Amino acid sequence: MAQKPTIPKGTRDFLPAEVAKRNFLFDIVKQVFARYGYAPIQTPSFELSSTLMGKYGDEGDRLIFRILNSGEKIRKADLEALAADNLPRFASSLSEKALRYDLTVPFARFVVQHQNDLTFPFKRYQIQPVWRADRPQHGRYQEFTQCDVDVVGSESLLYEVEMIQIFDEVLSNLGLPGFSICINNRKILSGIAELIGEADRIVDLTVALDKLDKIGQQGVIDELLQKGFTPKSIEKITPLFALQGNNEQKMELLGEYLAQSEIGQKGLDELKVVLDDIAALGLQKGELIFDLTLARGLNYYTGAIFEVKAHGVKMGSICGGGRYDDLTALFGLKDLSGIGISFGADRIYDVMSELDLFPKSLNQTLSVLFVNFGESEAKHALKLLREVRNIGLAAELYPQASKLQKQLKYANDRQVPYVVMIGQQEAKDGMLSLKNMETGQQEQLTEAEFLTKCEQLF
């Protein structure tokens, strides 16, 4: 026997029932995106390595899937680098292309490349798979789909507000009973780093701070010591550990703490505008929380940063995003601030499955099944079948004259609500039997009566 086929780790097949649910999810996402004025674009699955490398931090670079050069190009391999044990350089000489790691960086490249064809502020959405060479885990895949909205060409904080509204509207429309939209601002984090005299170590600082709720105060201090922060600078951080209460209380305390930092104050001011606007507008199911420990490792964020967590399930963040002032500058277009967010479709799918939030009717892909009683009966049914399809209902004729038992079982398995039976005598009389599969009841109808009923169903 041939060996059982498998697919690579971290990837999945989707059965019809799963695709139906995923499409349900995508449809709601698209609907909201479109309503806020975003238009869809698509970009290639893979980019030049130079486009992607270096944009996500060291950790991110490691997780980028690289595409091996093909054909004669393989001869370009830098064997000296290999001999010198310089593996990154050796790898680069083997590969010039890589699968996209997210949709934001390819989008920045897209904007720069097509800047003459775009009207700014440019608003786009993009729903496509991305790939990460990560260790698979619960809610973590090597191939997964992101749903991104981004706008570039405006610094207006109205877009921060808009992104929060989109989070709230999409997730509420999907039926999530509750979720936290966490917000922070990189400028606040920069201000803190500046104040403690470690302005150039902001990444190490934020990564450690990010773990506060996981490893606790002492854990953060230990990590900072390990990273080489001086006890003196760490001491200056400790007031932050006491930060508690609601958003206003946290902001007030932080206002005093950051009094001497211009950039920190700016971050606070931005945050306040956004929080006030949202407070005035209100949210449906979402809860907006200022979370100072929210850091996000992606190093292109410069202003607001977001992360969303679903309530009632054990799952990492289901959405993320933030403002980036310099991303297009990396590709040669300066002074173009952007902000964007991403919905992790696969994690949201998992959350919805766990909470049983998908409508049951999604599995119904066929409304009417015509039973096949034989060659001449089938030919007769075919004409009626065409009319049912013209009305707009999904309908089909069973392909062979199997036992009725088998045909009904097929209808049952496919959750078909109505089965039509036309035997020899019925065909002659222009009559048919319509069986309701849910109630089991059956009625005799003329063909005209049946078609009228189909129109009502549609």
Q: How many angstroms separate the CA atoms of 39 and 37, rounded?
A: 7
Q: How many angstroms separate the CA atoms of 395 and 365, rounded?
A: 9
Give the amino acid at 71: G
Residues in 158-197 at the binding interface with RNA, rule: CB under 7 A: none
Q: Does 218 help bind RNA (rule: CB under 7 A)?
A: no
DSSP secondary structure code for residue 76 in this structure: G
Q: Does 29 help bind RNA (rule: CB under 7 A)?
A: no
Closest approach of RNA to the CB of residue 316, in Å: 3
Q: Does 54 help bind RNA (rule: CB under 7 A)?
A: no
Residues in 78-107 at the binding interface with RNA, rule: CB under 7 A: 102
Closest approach of RNA to the CB of residue 259, in Å: 29
For residue 116, how many C-alpha atoms fall within 13 Å in the half-sphere facing its CB?
1
Region near RNA per CB under 7 A, out of 19-27, 77-85, 289-297, 380-388? 289-297
Query: 10 or 175: whose CB is closer to RNA?
Result: 10
Q: Among 298, 327, 351, 352, which residue sits at the site for RNA (rule: CB under 7 A)?
A: 298
Q: Does 211 help bind RNA (rule: CB under 7 A)?
A: yes
Burial of 261 (0-12, 13-18, 19+ CB in 10 A): buried
Q: How many angstroms separate the CA atoms of 57 and 54, rounded?
A: 6
Could you give the C-alpha distances from 44 to 109, 123, 243, 338, in angstroms and in order?
12, 19, 44, 21
Region near RNA per CB under 7 A, out of 65-73, 139-147, 171-179, 356-364? 139-147
Region near RNA per CB under 7 A, out of 43-51, 190-198, 392-400, 436-444? 436-444
Q: Does 286 help bind RNA (rule: CB under 7 A)?
A: no
Peptide bond preceding 40 in cis form (omega within 30 of 0): no
Show the binding pattern over residues 336-375: x = contacts RNA (CB under 7 A), - = does not: ------xxx-xx-------------------------x--
Per the DSSP assignment, residues forming a β-bridge with 344 are: 146
Q: Does 296 help bind RNA (rule: CB under 7 A)?
A: yes
| Alpha helices in 174-317, H assignment, sequence order | 186-195, 202-210, 212-226, 231-241, 247-257, 262-281
Q: Among 421, 447, 450, 454, which residue sits at the site for RNA (rule: CB under 7 A)?
A: 421
Strand, coil or helix: 194: helix
Q: Are 177 and 355 in contact (CB under 8 A)?
A: yes
Size of the site for RNA (CB under 7 A): 68
Query: Left, alpha or beta for 64 (phi > 0: left; psi -120 to 50: alpha)?
Result: beta
Closest approach of RNA to the CB of residue 34, in Å: 21
The bridge status of strand 66-68 relative to strand 95-99 is antiparallel
Region near RNA per CB under 7 A, out of 8-16, 187-195, 232-240, 244-252? 8-16
How many residues appear in the chain?
Answer: 458
Residue ranges in contact with RNA by CB under 7 A: 1, 3-4, 6, 8-10, 57, 59-60, 62-63, 102, 132, 134-142, 144, 146, 207, 210-211, 214-215, 295-298, 307-308, 316-320, 342-344, 346-347, 373, 403-406, 408-409, 411-413, 421, 423-426, 433, 435, 437-440, 442
